[in-house]
């Protein structure tokens, strides 16, 4: 499935949070090394958004619980001869190291960032459109005029505080993404429907479409049914058009 665009859709709130955390952390890393003060702005804005997400749930407890659950499911497999023991032991060791790093943190993962006076002054203005202008935050404006290497030291220090969470989220999402095989399916007249059997713990849907075709999916996923409709991208002044032909595509249901 080379040269494909992958579209992902979370089926529960936990995966939704993790995907947003992954997205914001990727946005931060993409701006490093700094090329201009605008890269610094991108990182600080992403940190402010991430703190808003972390403010709504216990990320440390959530990740520790999921790592423990995954480990408890994998440990019994050490007695199965048809299981790749090298890969299994590697996965268990990774989860063990990630759990230990999280447990060593005092308080919540974002405690130091949340208590940072400078970051908080920016967060308070970020909810206002254009609220981080130079006249709104002269201290931030001064900070952005300093040498890029100087700014980068602060940014890397803040990102290092998030490393244990980043490692745990990356590991768990990788395990979930690799949990099932990808199959070739067909959307009849541009639509695909599937009823889910009771008790099926679906977590993430992944759809692969050729990158050279102007096609994208819209996904509706509930506990009992999944509906995927495909559309043509027809430009920025027209509404996307629903596909009416049968469309083959690759699909992964991650359990």
In 3D, which of 7, 16, 4, 1 has the Cα closest to residue 216?
7
Tell me: the pLDDT tens digits for 129-165?
999 999 999 999 999 999 999 999 999 999 999 999 9
What value does the mean pLDDT take over residues 185-206?
A: 85
pLDDT at 201 over 90: no
pLDDT (mean) for 81-101: 87
pLDDT value at residue 26: 97
C-alpha torsion 214→222→1→255, nearest 10 = 160
pLDDT confidence bin for 1, thresholds 50/70/90:
low
Q: Which residues of 104-121 are buried (b: 16+ CB within 10 A; e: fewer)?
A: eeeebbbeebeebeebee
Average pLDDT over all residues of the chain:
91
Q: So what's the pLDDT on residue 15? A: 93
Is residue 58 over pLDDT 90? no
Give pTM, 2 decimals. Answer: 0.91
pLDDT at 199: 52
Q: Half-sphere exposure of residue 15, counting CA atoms within 13 Å on the CB side?
A: 18
Of the candidates 67, 87, 68, the residue with the CA atom closest to the CA atom of residue 77: 87
Is the per-residue pLDDT at 9 higher than 70?
yes
Q: What is the pLDDT of residue 43?
A: 97
């Amino acid at each position: 499935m080379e040269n494909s665009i992958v579209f992902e859709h979370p089926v529960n709130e936990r995966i939704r949070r993790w995907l947003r955390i992954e997205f914001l952390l990727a946005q931060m890393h993409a701006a490093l090394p700094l090329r201009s003060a605008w890269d610094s702005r991108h990182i600080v804005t992403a940190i402010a958004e991430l703190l808003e997400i972390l403010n709504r749930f216990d990320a440390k407890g959530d990740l520790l619980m999921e790592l423990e659950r995954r480990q408890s499911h994998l440990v019994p497999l050490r007695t199965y001869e048809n299981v790749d023991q090298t890969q299994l032991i590697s996965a268990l060791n990774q989860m063990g190291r990630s759990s230990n790093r999280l447990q060593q943190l005092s308080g919540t993962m974002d405690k130091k960032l949340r208590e940072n006076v400078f970051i908080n002054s920016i967060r308070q203005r970020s909810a206002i459109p254009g609220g981080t202008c130079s006249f709104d935050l002269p201290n931030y404006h001064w900070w952005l005029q300093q040498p890029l290497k100087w700014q980068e030291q602060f940014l890397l220090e803040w990102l290092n505080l998030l490393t244990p969470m980043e490692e745990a989220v990356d590991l768990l999402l990788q395990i979930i993404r690799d949990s099932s095989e990808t199959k070739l399916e067909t959307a009849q007249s541009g639509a695909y429907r599937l009823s889910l059997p009771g008790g099926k713990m679906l977590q993430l849907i992944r759809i692969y479409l050729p990158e050279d075709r102007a096609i994208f999916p819209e996904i509706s996923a509930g506990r009992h049914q999944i509906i995927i409709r495909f559309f043509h991208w027809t430009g920025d002044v027209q509404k996307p058009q629903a596909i009416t032909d049968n469309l083959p595509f690759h699909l992964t249901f991650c359990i």
